[in-house]
Amino acid sequence: MDQDSHCTAERELLEAVSRITVSSTTSPSDEPENQPKAEISCQVRKENPEKDDTQDSSATVSPNSSMTTKELQEYWRNEKRQCKQIKLLFEIPSTRIVEHHFSKYVMYKIIILQTGSFDSNKSVIERRYSDFERLHRNLLEEFSEEMEDVTFPKKTLTGNFTEEIINERKLAFKDYLRLLYSMKYIRRSKKFIDFLTRPELQEAYGCLRGGQYTKALEILLEVVGLQERLTRGNPVAIVPTLCAIVVCHKDLENPAGAFEYGEKALSRLRVHPSHRYYIPLLETMISLAYELGKDFLSLQEKVEEWKTKKDPIRVFSLKELTVREYVQ
22 inside domain = no
pLDDT tens digits, one per residue of 63-102: 444 556 766 666 665 555 444 556 899 999 999 999 988 8
The residue among 119 and 306 whose pLDDT is bigger is 306
Q: Residue 300, Cβ neighbours under 10 Å: how many? A: 16
**Looking at the structure, do residues 230 and 135 belong to the same domain, yes or no?**
no
Contact 275, 236 (CB under 8 A): yes
Q: Residue 280, Cβ neighbours under 10 Å: how many? A: 20
- What is the domain count for the chain? 2
Contact 85, 53 (CB under 8 A): yes
Q: What is the pLDDT of residue 307?
A: 82
For residue 225, what pLDDT band results from cuts at 50, 70 and 90? very high
**Looking at the structure, do residues 205 and 160 belong to the same domain, yes or no?**
no
**Looking at the structure, do residues 92 and 166 belong to the same domain, yes or no?**
yes
Q: What is the pLDDT of residue 41?
A: 37
Q: 80 burial class (0-12, 13-18, 19+ CB within 10 angstroms)?
A: middle
Residue 319, pLDDT > 90, answer yes
Residue 201, pLDDT > 90, answer yes
CATH of residue 258's domain is 1.25.40.10
12 inside domain = no
Contact 122, 215 (CB under 8 A): no
Contact 121, 113 (CB under 8 A): yes
Cα angle 184, 167, 130; round to 5 = 60
Q: What is the pLDDT of residue 327?
A: 83
Q: What is the pLDDT of residue 11?
A: 53
CATH of residue 150's domain is 3.30.1520.10
**Looking at the structure, do residues 136 and 242 belong to the same domain, yes or no?**
no
**Looking at the structure, do residues 127 and 153 belong to the same domain, yes or no?**
yes
**Looking at the structure, do residues 205 and 258 belong to the same domain, yes or no?**
yes
Helix (H) or strand (E) holding 107: strand 103-114
**Looking at the structure, do residues 181 and 279 belong to the same domain, yes or no?**
no
Of 188, 209, 239, which residue sits at a domain end?
188
100 inside domain = yes
The residue among 1 and 231 whose pLDDT is bigger is 231
2 inside domain = no
CA atoms within 13 A of residue 259's CA, in its CB half-sphere: 17
Spatial CA neighbour of 96 closest among 82, 110, 85 = 110
CA distance 258 to 321: 16
In sequence order, what are the beta bridge partners of 127?
A: 108
Q: Which of 43-47, 49-53, 129-133 has the lowest mean pLDDT?
A: 43-47
Of 188, 212, 234, which residue sits at a domain end?
188
Residues 251-257 have a mean pLDDT of 98
pLDDT tens digits, one per residue of 259-279: 999 999 999 998 998 899 999
**Looking at the structure, do residues 125 and 228 belong to the same domain, yes or no?**
no
The residue among 51 and 312 whose pLDDT is bigger is 312
137 inside domain = yes
Q: 103-110: long-range contacts at Cβ-Cβ below 8 A with a sequence spacing of 24 or more?
A: 104/161, 105/129, 105/130, 106/160, 106/161, 106/166, 106/169, 108/132, 108/169, 108/170, 108/173, 110/173, 110/177
Q: What is the pLDDT of residue 199?
A: 97
**Looking at the structure, do residues 206 and 117 belong to the same domain, yes or no?**
no
Domain that holds residue 99: 87-188
What's the Cα-to-Cα distance from 232 to each of 18, 24, 41, 82, 111, rounded to whole Å? 36, 40, 18, 11, 19
173 inside domain = yes
Spatial CA neighbour of 120 closest among 235, 238, 225 = 225
Alpha helices in 60-188 (DSSP H): 69-83, 129-142, 163-182, 184-187
Residue 27, pLDDT > 60, answer no
Return the amino acid letter for 127. Answer: R
Contact 125, 110 (CB under 8 A): yes
**Looking at the structure, do residues 92 and 182 belong to the same domain, yes or no?**
yes
CA distance 234 to 205: 22
Of 147, 164, 188, which residue sits at a domain end?
188
Contact 212, 252 (CB under 8 A): no
82 inside domain = no
**Looking at the structure, do residues 127 and 170 belong to the same domain, yes or no?**
yes
Instruction: Judge if pTM exceeds 0.75.
Output: no
**Looking at the structure, do residues 252 and 313 belong to the same domain, yes or no?**
yes
Instruction: Annotate 123-162 with b (16+ C-beta within 10 A) or e (fewer).
Output: bebebebebbeebbebbeeebeebbeebebbeeeeeeeee
64 inside domain = no
